[in-house]
Structure formats: C-alpha cells, structure tokens
Amino acid sequence: MNGCLLCEKPLDDQPTWQQFLGISKSSPVCPPCLALFERIDSTVEDEWVDSIHSLYAYNEQAREFLHQFKFLQDIALAQVFASDLRNVLKNSKKIIVPIPMHPANKAKRTFAQVDALLDAAGIPYEQLLHKTTESVMGEKTRAERLAMTELFEVKADIPSNEAIYVLVDDIYTTGTTLRHAARTLKQAGAVRVEAVTLFRPTGKK
C-alpha cells in the first residue's frame, strides 16, 4: 500500500470505477492533506502579462510544501499537483514556457522545480528563456524586486504570430518574475503571454 506523499499515512488502494475506466487517476496525496490547500483559481491581469491564473492560496500548507519540494529537494512532490496542472494546461495550441532557474542555482538544488512539475503532469514545454542572474526573488524586498533590471533573455527566435505563450511558475507574489519574463517574450515577438502559478498570497489584489 502506497503512502501519502505529504504525511506518509497509507492511502486506500481500492480503485474507484472512474480509475478502472481510466477516467481519473488515483491521487498521491490523502484527502485530509489535500483539504489543507485552499483552491482559489484566481485570475488577474498585469502590465505585461495578459492573464495570470493561480490555483491555490499561499497558506501554511503551501509554504510547507514548497519548503520540502524546493529546499529539501523532495522531487517526488512534483506529482501532488500533476492532475491540476494537466487540467489548466491541456490546450495543445498554447506554448508552455517554464520560468527557468539560473544554472548555478539549479546545480545547488539538483533540479528545476517548474520543469519537474510539468514533467510530472506530462505537459510538453519549450525552454525559451534563460535566467541572467542568480538572484532569488524570495530573498529580496518588494522594493528590490521592483528595481531590478532585466532578469531573462530569449534563447531562440520568437515569431510574431497568433501563438499564446503560457509562463509557468510555482508562486506569484509581486509579479516581478512573471512581468520580466512576459516582457522579454513580447519584446522578442510574442503577441499574447499568459501565466499559470500554483500559489498566490490571498491578500494580493
């Protein structure tokens, strides 16, 4: 019997008829743990990002999840939100672009967390951006984030066409990272840039 990826308690291995018919897959997380995440499905617009859709509130459970996933390098946790990401990113006409890590930071953490989330969800993506600085947004004040120069550069030509580019990141706070990434894509030729994040502080408007 498998255990919950978050609390390690045994999961019920009895398949439902939906799972038997392939309509749904069993969750790697127990219902009590999932219930601690607050689903918000919040969508906002930004100066450079045409639409930012955040799935969950950045509450205590979300903070614990990101700490274990990113800093304790528990890559298995990428499976927790695989189904949610598949549901919101399943449009095959959109080009999925993960927010990249600087190579030095990726070497320290051993894996790129956004890539791992998309891989677990089975979502194809294109690495169109390169992070130009090792700076981590979570370690900066709001004023420092807003004052930063360009954070990204494009790795390939982006034609000016009707394609919709969707940035994916783990958390949306001040919007600095997404704003810089979207601006870089648009200045390179993209017409519409959207974004999807797992978490967002609920106090943000």
**Strand ranges of the sheet holding 192-200, from the earlier edge strand across to the other edge:** 39-44, 51-57, 192-200, 164-171, 94-98
Higher pLDDT, 147 or 176: 176
pLDDT of residue 176 exceeding 70, the answer is yes
pLDDT of res. 65 = 96
Decide if domain 29-200 falls under CATH 3.40.50: yes
Kind plus residue range of the DSSP H or E element containing 33: helix 31-35
Neighbours of 186 (CB within 10 A): 18
Q: What is the DSSP string of 158-198?
A: ---SSPEEEEEEEE-SSSHHHHHHHHHHHHTT-SEEEEEEE
What amino acid occupies position 120? A
pLDDT bracket for residue 107 (50, 70, 90): confident
Alpha helices, DSSP H only, in 58-148?
60-66, 82-89, 103-109, 113-121, 142-146
Mean pLDDT of 115-121: 97
- CB 204 within 8 Å of CB 59: no
pTM for the full predicted model: 0.86
Looking at residue 25, what is its pLDDT? 61
pLDDT confidence band for 156 (50 / 70 / 90): confident
Give the pair of three-digit tokens for residue 31: 């219902």
Q: Are 114 and 99 in contact (CB under 8 A)?
A: yes
- Distance CA(63)–CA(199), nearest Å, equals 9
Q: Are 104 and 134 in contact (CB under 8 A)?
A: yes
Break the chain into its structural domains and give their ranges. Answer: 29-200
Query: Which of these, 48, 93, 61, lies nearest to 199 by C-alpha position?
Result: 61
pLDDT at 178 (0 to 100): 96
Residue recorded with tokens 């990002």:
49
